[in-house]
Amino acid sequence: MDYLRNVIDTLQDPYLVSRFQRYFGIRETSYPEAPKFYQRNGRSYARDLSPVSHGQDEYVETTTLNDEQPSGAAVKRFVENSSTHGNQGSDDETSGSDSAGSGKSKIKALLFQSMTAEGEYTDSDGETRDFIVTKPFWHALFVFGSALGDELFYATFFPLWFWNIDGAVGRRAVLVWYGIMYIGQAMKDVLKIPRPACPPVIRVQKKWALEYGFPSTHSMIGIAMPAALSIFTIERYQYPVILAVIPALFWCLSVCGSRLYLGMHSVLDVLAGLFLGVLVLCCLILPYIDAVDEYLVTNTYSPIALSAVIALSVLLYPAGNTWTPARGDTVIICAVVLGIYSGAWMNYSKHLISAASSAPPYAIIWPTYEMWGQVLARSSIGLCSVLATRAIFRSLSYATVCALLRLNQQDVTLRRANVSPRQFVIVELSYKFMTYAAVGFDIIYTAPLVFRLIGIERPEFYTEV
């Protein structure tokens, strides 16, 4: 048991992430001066985070504290020891007249620290450390990899996939997205394990800093989505397997590497995300996905059943006392699933969609110049339609919810004191749900009808049951 705990502690160590960042070219330009307290095995340690030369970081466990929350006497004793140690050091930065300043600066920095609810000390400006990028290639690669797990990527990827590649595969991919992200985001808000400490980690991106860290949902979807797309397309089309495996590996590795490079997750978060992504995909999704997809598209009562499941998903989401963006993102995913399958059901019920005359696997139809022109036209017109739908329904739903709750829109937007946290959450979740349900419906029903009307439809779209 102790061995397992040591392994977990090692994989959670923020210094592993820091070394990964330095190896791939992240260099800090302003260093924290204050010691940091960190928790390990139920005890608190004070760690000196001042880096030494040659890009290495040295830390010394100078004081072991018996209590989980350092007492005032222990902190004072540590500061005195740090000051003495600074005066006695032989390094240029801690010699002569600078040594006294070093001790004072540590005391000053310590005074500006703030204690979190868990009893850990963090700098008030710990999230704003300056850094430089010394390896632009790796920076661009990992930023791109991070984008492969963003909602913005999927908001573009899914429409283009439906309109230009395969609707049946697209619907199943949306179900994978929903299942993986819901489980991952819920686990984050239940376990409430924080992201790696900063410092020593440098937050290259701060977009998800308000979310908890374990498990990495980027890693979960980063392995599940490319694996699922590979499996679904191999079942439906005749093409070499290697053409699916290589992009899937690149997708997965770039996403997982980005979580460490950007300072968003520990190694443990990433490994757990990979394991959970495979587990959920293989055990809970793939065995049932064909039957679920068929039911949701063809059954008369599927809109009622799906609406009930989505409503329960939103209502039963494990929201804690502390607000995090994870809940809002999960509501968006639930709404998109409802909108897409409502549109697919509408296509089927109006006899717009029917099964193909032949069974898969199909030969791939490689696009001609004319087909490329249609792809460009569908993508441009379709994305404009999605943006317009989002803008219109966002404004209408926001105003409607505020009116129903008898709230002033400006008060809600500025989060003024007369708007309770509960009211703010209701407004946010409601308008997001209505907006993105409409967007999903537009992607699968309205936009393809427009394409048919102006003569740029993809003929196979209405045969992909």
DSSP state at residue 459: G
Residue ranges, the chain, pLDDT below 70: 30-129, 208, 320-324
List, for residues 361-391, the tens digit of each pLDDT value. 999 988 899 999 999 999 999 999 999 999 9
Would residue 218 show up in a list of annotated catalytic residues for this protein?
A: yes
Enter the tokens of residue 188: 């984050």
Using only C-alpha atoms, the chain has a radius of gyration, in whole angstroms, of: 26
What local confidence, expressed as pLDDT, does residue 320 receive?
Answer: 62
Enter the tokens of residue 34: 């204050």
What local confidence, expressed as pLDDT, does residue 322 receive?
Answer: 60
Distance CA 174, CA 232 (A): 12
What local confidence, expressed as pLDDT, does residue 433 receive?
Answer: 95
Strands, DSSP E only, in 101-238? 113-115, 121-123, 131-133, 237-238
DSSP state at residue 41: T
Backbone φ and ψ for 62, nearest 5 degrees, come out as -80, -30
- At position 450, the amino acid (one-letter code) is V
What local confidence, expressed as pLDDT, does residue 152 receive?
Answer: 83
Enter the tokens of residue 186: 């819920």
What local confidence, expressed as pLDDT, does residue 340 receive?
Answer: 97
Distance CA 94, CA 105 (A): 12
What local confidence, expressed as pLDDT, does residue 30 receive?
Answer: 59
- At position 10, the amino acid (one-letter code) is T
Q: Which of 54, 85, 218, 351 is catalytic?
A: 218
Helix (H) or strand (E) holding 223: helix 217-236
Distance CA 285, CA 287 (A): 6
Whether the Cβ atoms of residue 331 and residue 429 lie closer than 8 Å to each other: yes
Q: Which of 85, 139, 265, 351 is catalytic?
A: 265
What local confidence, expressed as pLDDT, does residue 234 receive?
Answer: 95
Enter the tokens of residue 304: 């009622």
What local confidence, expressed as pLDDT, does residue 55 receive?
Answer: 40
Q: C-alpha distances in angstroms, 191 versus 185, 224, 278, 319?
A: 10, 22, 20, 11
What local confidence, expressed as pLDDT, does residue 62 receive?
Answer: 36
Domain boundaries, the chain: 31-128, 136-463
Would residue 54 show up in a list of annotated catalytic residues for this protein?
A: no
